[in-house]
Amino acid sequence: MNMHVPGTPRAARRARASQDVLPPSMNIAVIGAGYVGLVTGTCLALLGHRVTVVDRDAERIAMLHRGEMPIHETGLAERIAEAEKLDFSTSLPSAVAAADAVFICVGTPPNPVDGHADLTQVHAVARDVAGALEGRTVVITKSTVPVGTGDEVEEIMRAVRPDGDFAVVSNPEFLREGVAIADFMHPDRVVVGTDEIWARDAMAAIYAVITTAGHPLVFTSRRTAELTKYAANCFLALKITYINEIANLCEEVGADVEDVALGIGLDSRIGAQFLKAGPGFGGSCFPKDMLALMKTAQDAGMPLRSVETAVAVNDARKGEMVRKIIRAAGGSVAGKTIGVLGLTFKGGTDDMRSAASLVILPQLIKAGARIRAYDPAGMANAKALLPGVEMAASALDAANGADLALVLTEWSEFRTLDLKRLRRTLRQPVLVDLRNLYEPAAVAAAGLSHIAIGRPGAAFPHHAGISPQDVPGRWPQAMARKARMPADLARA
Ligand SMILES: NC(=O)c1ccc[n+]([C@@H]2O[C@H](COP(=O)([O-])OP(=O)(O)OC[C@H]3O[C@@H](n4cnc5c(N)ncnc54)[C@H](O)[C@@H]3O)[C@@H](O)[C@H]2O)c1
């Protein structure tokens, strides 16, 4: 591994100010105008390159030409408006023919048969790109793809263009939806996998402004870069799974998972991020990437037990959440209305892929609940995926007359909700907070019973007439007894 860490940010700013390190502007084609492609294309244009983002979805491209956003990503519309050298097209051949570099940013969904990444889109783009290449071109796989996909892409392209002057490079993307622009522009690192020196130089030029600002560029082999992406995502998913299990334990022993997370997260060996207990991870990446890595490892005869266990624990968690909600409703949700706050897999996006709501809400409906939901950005996508869920105009509208308010997504606008108004809106004063958005004291002060994740009282049956005021500042005696150390251990 070869790591290129340029000078300090201050030195970089001085150097840039003197204009002597401005990278050459390159012609770039980005294939796929989804969450990754749009952000990649926009940011590369903001870095000074001439970029054409291509998608086969003509309506998506038409929207972009009209200045409308096909996805919700914070700040993206403004940055697209700022990016002067950015264009959108449905014509892959013309964008690729003009390009020095082509970024493949198409989807790699899980194959429903064995969980491996479905590479149909990547393979098809490889063929189309090969057919359209003109002159020396670096072809970059940014889609998350299993180890060895770069070899396949190269083979496919070579079959079409035996004499083509191209290199296939892996450059996995680590951005998070909701903060994608900041993640692209200020990455913890840029990983580039290729053994071709000229391709390394091209990649260094593409990212020159970013690396000159002090963000590390890590050069590896192509296979190493491909595996690095999966290893990173699976590690983060393991962290979430771990803190969720610790949260369960907190509920049993009367500890507070938020404080445990703070206490361990401040340890620099552990790090504070991805230690937020919740309803289990979802989203467009973690679930599918874990399945794909599991499959790669099994095929290699080197199964990853920790990843397999985390997947099983995370799958089971959704059922645990349903049981928790039913307990909070007094043992049954039949005939009851649940006001749901948040549908997307996380705040800041309209992405519904593998969202917890897609598993939890149908189970509640099956158990007899009526669901009224509000999401700041996800309702348009959610409608088709969640038949039977009524959509509301606001968080308070969703909770209006409901027997229980349920927080499923950590949207920042929910954090500032007036809890006293929420209490007045609800028929029963019960708030199930699966994202630990609210401080227990604030919820209690609003007169609401608070069922959170891994917090004192979280396992307490707050239903049917028992309010937090009945147990001020304490967790129940039964819990205290349960948490007491066994006598032999206490003596040791
Ligand atoms: N979404 C994320 O947060 C994220 C983060 C890091 C990596 N990734 C990876 O990036 C890749 C893309 O993810 P995404 O979320 O942007 O997907 P997406 O589904 O939002 O976008 C993919 C786009 O590619 C287009 N497309 C497919 N085939 C095409 C073709 N032949 N020609 C032109 N356009 C074509 C589709 O129409 C779609 O608009 C995946 O491999 C994913 O795992 C995603």
Ligand 1 centroid–CA 424 distance in Å is 43
User: Is 50 exceeded by the pLDDT of residue 22?
Assistant: no
Of 43, 234, 250, 285, catalytic: 285
What's the confidence (pLDDT) of residue 140?
A: 98
User: Are 325 and 333 a contacting pair, CB within 8 Å?
Assistant: yes
Strand arrangement of the beta sheet that strand 389-391 belongs to: 389-391, 370-374, 337-341, 404-407, 430-433, 449-451
Atom in ligand 1 nearest the alpha carbon of residue 128: 31
Half-sphere exposure of 315 (CA within 13 A, CB side): 10
User: Is 60 exceeded by the pLDDT of residue 487?
Assistant: no
Mean pLDDT of 101-105: 98
Mean pLDDT of 206-229: 97
Q: In this structure, which residue's CA is closest to atom 36 in ligand 1?
A: 32
Residue 165: count other Cβ atoms within 10 Å of its Cβ.
11
- Indicate the length of the chain as a whole number: 492
Mean pLDDT of 181-210: 97
d(CA 312, CA 115): 14
Select from 372, 376, 327 the least CA-distant residue to 348: 376
Q: Which two three-digit tokens encode residue 185?
A: 């522009």
d(CA 368, CA 337): 9
User: Is 90 exceeded by the pLDDT of residue 130?
Assistant: yes
**CATH number for position 41:** 3.40.50.720
* Predicted TM-score (pTM) of this structure: 0.88
Q: Based on the fold, state whether residues 17 and 165 are members of the same structural domain.
A: yes
Q: Which two three-digit tokens encode residue 381?
A: 């996508």
Q: Which two three-digit tokens encode residue 304?
A: 């990853």
Whether 105 is catalytic:
no
Q: Based on the fold, state whether residues 434 and 293 are members of the same structural domain.
A: yes
User: Are 104 and 37 a contacting pair, CB within 8 Å?
Assistant: no
Q: Which residue, 164, 199, 220, sits at the end of a domain? A: 220
Mean pLDDT of 442-470: 70
pLDDT digits (tens, 9 = 90+) for 399-434: 999 999 999 999 999 999 999 999 999 999 999 999
Domain with 74, as residue range(s), is: 2-220
Mean pLDDT of 313-319: 97
User: Is 90 exceeded by the pLDDT of residue 255?
Assistant: yes
Mean pLDDT of 487-492: 32
Residue whose pair of structure tokens reads 């401005």 in the numeric block:
22
d(CA 130, CA 235): 35
d(CA 186, CA 233): 18
Select from 222, 230, 353, 367 the least CA-distant residue to 292: 230
Where are any strands of DSSP class E within 156-278?
166-170, 190-193, 217-220
Residue type at 191 in one-letter notation: V
Q: Based on the fold, state whether residues 123 and 251 are members of the same structural domain.
A: no
Residues linked to residue 3 through DSSP beta bridges, in sequence order: 218
**Confidence label for 379 from pLDDT (cuts 50, 70 and 90):** very high
Split into its structural domains, the chain has a count of 2
What's the confidence (pLDDT) of residue 112?
A: 85
d(CA 126, CA 161): 11
Mean pLDDT of 272-285: 96
Q: In this structure, which residue's CA is closest to atom 30 in ligand 1?
A: 56
Helix (H) or strand (E) holding 450: strand 449-451
Ligand 1 centroid–CA 33 distance in Å is 7
Ligand 1 centroid–CA 284 distance in Å is 10
- Ligand 1 pocket test, candidate residues 39, 88, 106, 143, most atoms within 8 A of CB: 106
Question: What sections of 301-418 are H helices per DSSP?
Answer: 305-328, 356-366, 379-385, 395-399, 412-415
Q: Is the CB of 175 under 6 A from ligand 1?
A: yes
d(CA 303, CA 309): 11
Q: Which residue, 220, 235, 264, sits at the end of a domain? A: 220
Q: Based on the fold, state whether residues 188 and 246 are members of the same structural domain.
A: no
User: Is 60 exceeded by the pLDDT of residue 446?
Assistant: yes
Q: Based on the fold, state whether residues 143 and 244 are members of the same structural domain.
A: no
**Radius of gyration, CA atoms only, the chain:** 25
- Out of 279-288, 330-339, 471-480, pick the least confident: 471-480
Mean pLDDT of the chain: 90
Ligand 1 centroid–CA 51 distance in Å is 17
Residue whose pair of structure tokens reads 């199964």 in the numeric block:
303
Burial of 230: CB neighbours in 10 Å, binned 0-12, 13-18, 19+ = buried
d(CA 400, CA 260): 35
What's the confidence (pLDDT) of residue 458?
A: 56
Q: Is the CB of 350 under 6 A from ligand 1?
A: no
Query: What percentage of the chain reaches a pLDDT higher than 90?
Result: 87
Q: Based on the fold, state whether residues 118 and 170 are members of the same structural domain.
A: yes
**Confidence label for 39 from pLDDT (cuts 50, 70 and 90):** very high
Q: Which are the contacts of 241, defined by CB distance < 8 A and separation ≥ 6?
A: 280, 281, 310, 313, 314
Query: What percentage of the chain reaches a pLDDT higher than 70?
Result: 88
Mean pLDDT of 286-301: 96
What's the confidence (pLDDT) of residue 456?
A: 82
Q: Based on the fold, state whether residues 175 and 237 are members of the same structural domain.
A: no
- Ligand 1 pocket test, candidate residues 30, 31, 36, most atoms within 8 A of CB: 36
pLDDT digits (tens, 9 = 90+) for 50-72: 999 999 999 999 999 999 999 99
- Torsion angles phi and psi, residue 97, rounded to 5: -60, -35
Q: Which residue, 182, 205, 220, sits at the end of a domain? A: 220
- Torsion angles phi and psi, residue 12, rounded to 5: -65, -45
Q: Based on the fold, state whether residues 201 and 226 are members of the same structural domain.
A: no
Q: Report strand pairing: 449-451 vs 101-104.
A: unpaired
Q: Which are the contacts of 23, defined by CB distance < 8 A and separation ≥ 6?
A: 47, 48, 205, 206, 208, 209
**Confidence label for 457 from pLDDT (cuts 50, 70 and 90):** low
Helix (H) or strand (E) holding 419: helix 419-425
Residue 144 vs residue 1, higher pLDDT: 144
Q: Based on the fold, state whether residues 250 and 200 are members of the same structural domain.
A: no
- Out of 95-109, 320-334, 444-458, pick the least confident: 444-458
Select from 199, 202, 206 the least CA-distant residue to 167: 199
* 3-state secondary structure (DSSP) of residue 87: strand
What's the confidence (pLDDT) of residue 482?
A: 36
What's the confidence (pLDDT) of residue 470?
A: 38
Mean pLDDT of 474-492: 35
d(CA 239, CA 241): 5
* 3-state secondary structure (DSSP) of residue 327: helix
Q: Based on the fold, state whether residues 186 and 316 are members of the same structural domain.
A: no
Q: Based on the fold, state whether residues 128 and 179 are members of the same structural domain.
A: yes
Q: Based on the fold, state whether residues 286 and 402 are members of the same structural domain.
A: yes
Q: Which are the contacts of 124, defined by CB distance < 8 A and separation ≥ 6?
A: none
Q: Is the CB of 428 under 6 A from ligand 1?
A: no
Q: Which are the contacts of 384, defined by CB distance < 8 A and separation ≥ 6?
A: none
d(CA 259, CA 419): 23
